[in-house]
Structure 1
């Protein structure tokens, strides 16, 4: 993918970042963002995660100067947003789909943005082609679907060929082809040395896209780490084993000092990444293995583990808070409390 026109300026050699320091936003008694400090760096895709109401959108709005911080500071390429001349050439953002006048065509919407930021009109056709909207460039945007609106918003973000891109839920409304396209687009942007900051609730998509994660809960920073480290630190990894020679393998594992637990239905589990150790022990003792598979948590599982105490809005499946349907409870056992229900919150 080519982004086409490249703006000739000294910016091309500048390492552009988003820097937050002690960023805080209050709405009356409500603290939406609480003393956030982190840096979004170039050359990688940084995922921005948090439960509903965590403060992600408010943080992004403060980056763009749409909301004024109560305290703290946020800088783009070393400057506040309102200090940037022709800001679309520094940072391009998609915060809301269909944020335009429905009576304008896609072409005219982008042309207005280009003219107000000193961007050549030729760039409009280039970004429309990049996002796949050339065929509907002259159609009024009020008839656009949500997916088409997302593509137009992304075109607006790309218009100034900025060093920094910020996307809030960019795959919302896109079909599978569109999701694949935006994923590759963000990877291409990062590979060009640009700073890419993306928020999404789709954990499976974020796991395929992001290199680094910033996670917040109730406005506070919970994690600022690589994808691999985040999953490793907030989840359990283990080796799943099935064998017809269960007792023989248990003896061999215990003799080697390997802790093993039985999880039912003949399955054994060994914590950690010990598949090679287990395989070598089984071979040495001539134990047949039906299964020897490393199990690692998904990003979603790690995210839910970390943010369990930060979830503000809890849903229930028709049961009173804390209740479990009777048929799900083991015989003779007291009612179980579901993970993440309101009983855990003080």
Structure 2
């Protein structure tokens, strides 16, 4: 379990993390979301004792990180896949970590097998692709068979097979009763992986709730209907006190309506339906809705303005 209470970090006048209080519980995958600059990486660094909070407290299973004996057996983390000595082999990198944390040598081969790097275990890491580096970072996080795992952007650089693997790995770890805390900007993947969400913006807590409740609270749900008997359907719905909005393509929308109720109403009145589909926003849409006011860096669509003399003297390459 990871417990944050009033956690705050300031850099001069800049407040990176602003009185964060939440608990990451075992048995579920908890997603950690926020726009760029929201304070996610700083929060994770404070959990691991790499940055010291200006105020507040954070504990790992009730203890500060710097007081843990053999910390890799309590919490394993992937924050930066490139934080590896390029001249060492994957095996020796993990062996150094194992020996410094009292972890048996046999565990090195086990985690290399888990992440699929056995065939390149003796190769120097400077020749690794980004995806291979990610797998090695995950192996290091799993080395101590920890109760808690924390991943920052774990799918970066992974191919589709690798993404599928890490998704199932995180679910499996949570299923074993471990605490799994993962940060990612890939909303489609987070929607498939996380059970619970912690969302921050400008360092402040915006949401701490289940995936389903988060989407429900921050998006519009409706039922989309199409029928060749459109006018009659409108009359039936109005008589039942159901508010209808006309949509494009001849479709109708009922905000917050129950598809079952509408379907039964149509059947009782002998109406033919060509479409009766509940619509729910995606995690990405709900996230954008909640964090719109906290985004620090905005890009703008449209043509890029180029100074008139920018190309003067350009000879090509």
Residue 2 of structure 2 is aligned to residue 18 of structure 1? yes
What CA distance in whole angstroms lies between the structure 1 residues aligned with 2:146 and 2:76? 6
In structure 2, the residue matched to 1:111 is 95
- Partner of residue 126 from structure 2, selected from 128, 142, 155: 142
Residue deviations 1:120-161, cap 9 Å, x none? 001000000000000000000000000000000000000000
Residue 198 of structure 2 is aligned to residue 198 of structure 1? no
What TM-score do you get using the length of structure 2 for normalisation? 0.95
Residue 79 of structure 2 is aligned to residue 95 of structure 1? yes
Shift of 1:284: 1.3
Residue deviations 1:170-228, cap 9 Å, x none? 00000000000000000110000000000000000000000000000000000000000
Shift of 1:263: 1.3
What CA distance in whole angstroms lies between the structure 1 residues aligned with 2:7 and 2:175? 29
Q: Which residues of structure 2 form unaligned runs of 5+?
A: 306-317
In structure 2, the residue matched to 1:276 is 260
| Number of residue pairs the alignment of both structures matches | 305
Shift of 1:319: 5.1
Q: Which residues of structure 1 form unaligned runs of 5+?
A: 1-16, 322-346
CA 1:31–1:102 in structure 2 vs 1: closer, same or farther (change >3 Å)? same
The correspondence of residues 22-37 of structure 1 with structure 2, limited to 5 A, is 22-37=6-21
Residue 191 of structure 2 is aligned to residue 207 of structure 1? yes
In structure 1, the residue matched to 2:278 is 294
Residue 67 of structure 2 is aligned to residue 56 of structure 1? no
In structure 2, the residue matched to 1:336 is none
In structure 2, the residue matched to 1:220 is 204
Provide the alpha-carbon RMSD of the alignment.
1.1
Runs of 4+ in 1 over 6 A off after TM superposition: none
What CA distance in whole angstroms lies between the structure 2 residues aligned with 1:317 and 1:298? 22
In structure 2, the residue matched to 1:245 is 229
Shift of 1:264: 2.4
What TM-score do you get using the length of structure 1 for normalisation? 0.87
In structure 2, the residue matched to 1:131 is 115
